[in-house]
Amino acid sequence: MKYATMAVPRYTSYPTVPHFDSGVGASEYAAWLEALDPAEPVSLYLHVPFCRKLCWYCGCNMKLAARYEPVAGYVKTLLAEIDLVADRLPAGVKLSHLAWGGGTPTALEPDDLERVMDAVRCRFDVTDDAELAIEADPRTLTKAMIARIGALGFTRASFGVQEFDAKVQAAINRIQPPDMVDEAVYGLRAAGIAGINFDLIYGLPHQTSATLTRTIDLCAGMTPDRLALFGYAHVPWMAKKQRLIDEAALPGVRERLAQAEAAARALNRVGYREIGLDHFALPDDPLAQAARAGRLHRNFQGYTIDRARTLIGVGATSIGRTPAGYVQNIVETGAWARAVEAGRLPVAKGHALAGEDGIRAHVIERLMCDGAVDLEAAGKRFAVGRGWHEQEAEGLAALVADGLVRLNGATLSLTAAGRPFVRVVASIFDTYLARRTAHHSIAV
């Protein structure tokens, strides 16, 4: 159990966000955008930090939308930031993937959602096969919003199901009976949204393997194409609303591991295939197909088939990536809005890729996506000497001895026992991890 309690990053980027700094700002980001190859498509992420209901387990930076005026003001600034970004892009850049996240993007009024989508289509050349995805809360999702999502051409919608057990729902302040979710799924599919994702969480207060397995059975009856299974990260020092959760009701490390294993077995039993660390998909889903073909990728939204090297983040706290480096927008919505209104890209911090960042990002991503990587081939790809990973030899030897990985020549691969601890294995190649203190969730 020594690895289960290790605090390690989720590796949706390398280096990870705690290692970004203020040395990268608006001018650097503007130059990176201007230097993009117009022949390569880009992705767009739009962040909405508002929710209409408060969930106590949530660790996201969000605001409760008690009135709509702040949300309407946010939309106005979001439109202005889209223009700021688009003005710096080369002509003819195509958009191959778009995702709305939060918060709850469906906290917007349908007309405002359409205004933003119209602006995106005006400023970007959206490809015919682009995936358009949006997160939704079934508790507040209206029929009018469902109809508008369909009319706007969205192809995928995600729901935070978390757990259907009534006692667990009460303990996390997220009351949504199965019928409520089923009705939302039915409505979206009827409106033309083919792809449905569910998020589940293990390690919640009063949760057991039995309640989670029952939740999975109920989910299977709604046939979502993909499910994500995340471990609850209890960080009340960062997310103050988590102080409302009874810590005494939280399962221990062994119980968490048992829940994760039971959930994986239950998902396999009802026909879902494991994708990377924490995703599951039906066998004919593009995500499962990409995993089988070695074409799976990982970014700030998790596992994806999106191959764009540039991800443009718009909105407070959103994170972006270009071939030159990463940026994160200002977190506080007021300061973010003031920067945009002043005509500045609202960048708070970032990281310019250099040195061994490229090869280490590649190795970590392949471990997270494929569970294996050829270290020698990686060295050749990035023109790095054969001994580039010598400093990891001791750490890798310990993982081999503990049965988490195999090292066959230069090929490093996870064992069945090591799969749940892929973040620990990936952290061996993270040269930034020891440089700065940062809080991360435990491995399981």
Domains by residue range for the chain, with CATH: 17-311 (3.80.30.20), 357-427 (1.10.10.920)
Across-strand partners of 374?
Answer: 411
Whole-number pLDDT of residue 88: 98
For residue 393, count other CB atoms closer than 10 A to its CB.
Answer: 12
Q: State the pLDDT confidence band at 441, using cuts at 50, 70 and 90.
A: low
Which tokens in the block code for residue 143? 């029929």
**Residue 105 confidence (pLDDT) above 80:** yes
pTM of the model: 0.94
Whole-number pLDDT of residue 297: 96
Q: State the pLDDT confidence band at 62, using cuts at 50, 70 and 90.
A: confident
- 360-376 burial, b at 16+ Cβ within 10 Å, e below that, comes to bbbbbbbbbbebebbbe
Cα–Cα distance for residue pair 322/334, rounded to 1 Å: 26
Cα–Cα distance for residue pair 56/64, rounded to 1 Å: 12
**Residue 149 confidence (pLDDT) above 80:** yes
Cβ atoms 162, 174 nearer than 8 A = yes
Whole-number pLDDT of residue 1: 57
Q: State the pLDDT confidence band at 66, using cuts at 50, 70 and 90.
A: confident
Which tens digits make up the pLDDT trace of 306-342? Answer: 999 999 999 999 999 999 999 999 999 999 999 999 9
Which tens digits make up the pLDDT trace of 178-205? Answer: 999 999 999 999 999 999 999 999 999 9
Burial (Cβ within 10 Å: 0-12, 13-18, ≥19) of residue 44: buried
Q: State the pLDDT confidence band at 162, using cuts at 50, 70 and 90.
A: very high
Which tens digits make up the pLDDT trace of 338-396? Answer: 999 999 999 999 999 999 999 999 999 999 999 999 999 999 999 987 778 888 999 99
Tell me the mean pLDDT in the region 146-157.
Answer: 98
Query: Of 232, 237, 264, 263, which Cα lies nearest the Cα of 249?
Result: 232
CA distances from residue 219 to 193, 215, 223, 285 in whole angstroms, order as listed: 18, 6, 7, 17
Cα–Cα distance for residue pair 82/74, rounded to 1 Å: 12
Cα–Cα distance for residue pair 210/169, rounded to 1 Å: 15
Whole-number pLDDT of residue 386: 75
Which tokens in the block code for residue 175? 């009351």
Cβ atoms 159, 136 nearer than 8 A = yes
The set of residues, in sequence order, having a beta carbon less than 8 Å from that of 409 and lying 6+ positions away, is 376
Whole-number pLDDT of residue 438: 57
- 132-145 burial, b at 16+ Cβ within 10 Å, e below that, comes to bbbbbbbbbbeeeb
Cα Dmax for the chain: 61
Q: What one-letter code names the amino acid at 281?
A: A
